[in-house]
Homo-oligomer: A and B are copies of this chain.
Amino acid sequence: MATESIPVNLITADALLQNWQGHRRLTRKTIEAFPEDKLFHFSVGGMRTFGEMALELIGMAVPLVEGVSSGQWKAFEPGNPGTKNELLLLWDAQTAQLDEKFPKIPLARFWVVEKAFGEWEMPALAMIQYAIDNEIHHRGEGYVYLRALGIQPPPFWERD
């Protein structure tokens, strides 16, 4: 294919971070859209609540960046927040940490293949993309929960 003979890269680390943070702003709005009594107590089809999914995302974001940077893989234990506000506080703390830690990833580390969190063996860059895709996926699930509750989700294209 033409792109194999001209392997020009398209996306910078900073663009990847900005895309991720844009998605994280939309996920934050999605958390906010849930009524307090539904965030950890409502789902469809026997699935997890959106609060539980958000905790999965929180458990991976900063630890992923730290693992890619250092080769030390350690999940974050977010404890057991029971309110929307506690969840958003955890979220916002990670937003600042990502902005601080992501730009410090040594460039060569993006291509190193490791078993992330002892489970996912792939190049670090693919693992970061996987984490972003996983967030988009779960947020899409959250949109259905909101619609099932009669609540309009935030517009998908709003990332500010």
Question: Which residues of A pack against B, CB within 8 Å?
Answer: 1-4, 6-14, 16-17, 19, 23, 44-47, 102-104, 107, 110, 120, 125, 129-130, 133-134, 136-141, 143-150, 156-157
Contact = CB atoms under 8 A, between A and B. Distances in A.
Q: How many chain copies does the complex carry?
A: 2
Per DSSP, are chain A's interface residues mostly helix, strand or loop, or mixed? helix
A145 B4 CA distance: 39
B9 A11 contact: yes
Q: Which of A10, A11, A46, A133 has the most CB atoms of chain B within a 10 A radius of its CB? A: A10
A141 B12 CA distance: 30
Contacts of A46: 147
Contacts of A7: 12, 14
B148 A44 contact: yes
Contact of A140 (B44, B140, B148): B140
